[in-house]
Amino acid sequence: MIKWAIALGEFDISYHPKLAENGQAVADFIAEFTYPIDISPIPEAAASSPLETRKGCGAGLVLTTPDKVAMDYALRFKFKASNNEAEYEALLARLCLAKHLGVKQINIFSDSQLVVNQVTNNFDAKDNSMAAYLAQTQLLLQHFHYQITQVPRAANSHADALARLASAVEDKIGRKIHVELLATPNTMVTEVCNLQQGDSWITPIYKFLVHGTLPNDKVQAKQIRYKSTRYLIINDQLYKRGFNLPYLRCLTLAEAEIFLREIHEGVCGDHAGSRSIAHKAFRQGYYWPTLLQDAIRISRSCDKCQRYATIHHFPPEPLTLMISPWPFAQWGLDLIGPMPAGKGKVRYAIVAIDYFT
């Protein structure tokens, strides 16, 4: 193609590739992913469409914004999942994606009668697997004002096509739709909040911002109320506001210790000084109250820094020039006054200074 472009360039002829039509793209897609072997009947589903082929299970979902912008998302499972489990996996993926985008209100449409009625407490989850999925779903739904509705399967052909894509397409084939690979079910991953690992400097501020809880001590309550104006909660994480900085994620002291040591002596650590470590922590978007003190402590307690660091011989302050070679070689005289009258009514004084001393 490059040779032809060079050869035709002298004749003012340019090459413009023809864009694929929608119909031709669909035909190419069907021709490329049609297998000459028999495939077992594929069950259909909608917003969480589960499909199982000889290459694995898949599910698709569509997230539509109020201004009608649709985001397509496909899931491919590396584990065996039933239709109901795939429906729940797609629902959990939708909720996690909406939570990450900061959505507060969501309308959920699913073609699964079981999932919709279990979420609305019309059906009981008697199976252990369904009970685990329902508990995980209810945990995520606490972050939204939601409404879940059952729709016919024919109304979810878009999600069904995404499920076919997830179950049939290999990872190495280029595409514009993101396909996530799930190695384990979402019920095996519990959402752990670092704030629950123990009380830290974050805990009272977090409790006040989320629940409005203050300590019994009036002095501490006043301090927490004053400090909380500089912080905010984003996705269950505490962030610090800054005048000329982006939001800084707050770390506990245990997390900060690991983070600073990783900067100082980790894989990419250069055993820098305390001020450099502190500035790197700020640039990475993290904060805790004793950042500078901890950076100084880690820098001074590093064995390699104490053994091999370059010793600075610069004086603590700029040197003073000596303009006199020896004592009393050069003098400076000045007359000051008038001053209050002294003995003998003198009102002026002569000041003499030796330049060497």
- CA 351/CA 341 separation, integer angstroms: 17
The residue count for the chain: 357
Nearest to 33 by CA among 168, 175, 157: 168
Residue 338 and residue 327 in contact, taking contact as beta carbons nearer than 8 Å = no
Q: What is the DSSP string of 60-118?
A: EEEEE-TTS-EEEEEEEESS---HHHHHHHHHHHHHHHHHHTT--EEEEEES-HHHHHH
- CA 109/CA 81 separation, integer angstroms: 21
* Comparison of pLDDT for 173 and 135, the residue scoring more: 135
SS3 312: coil
Q: What is the pLDDT of residues 269-287, one digit of tens each?
A: 788 888 899 999 988 899 9
Q: Strand 248-250's sheet: what is its strand order?
A: 231-234, 237-240, 248-250, 286-287
Q: Which two tokens stand for residue 228?
A: 């909380």
Lowest mean pLDDT of 57-61, 99-103, 240-244, name the range.
57-61
User: What local confidence, expressed as pLDDT, does residue 30 receive?
Assistant: 66
What residue ranges define each of the domains in the chain, with the CATH number in brackets? 42-188 (3.30.420.10), 196-308 (1.10.340.70), 321-357 (no CATH)
- CA 7/CA 10 separation, integer angstroms: 7
User: What local confidence, expressed as pLDDT, does residue 154 receive?
Assistant: 65
- CA 49/CA 112 separation, integer angstroms: 9
User: What local confidence, expressed as pLDDT, does residue 291 receive?
Assistant: 92
Q: What is the pLDDT of residues 167-176, one digit of tens each?
A: 555 544 444 5
Q: Where are the beta strands (DSSP E) in 155-207?
A: 178-182
Confidence of residue 288 (pLDDT cuts 50, 70, 90): very high
The 3-state secondary structure of 103-166 reads CCEEEEEECCHHHHHHHCCCCCCCCHHHHHHHHHHHHHHCCCEEEEEECCHHHHHHHHHHHHHH
The DSSP call for residue 202 is: H
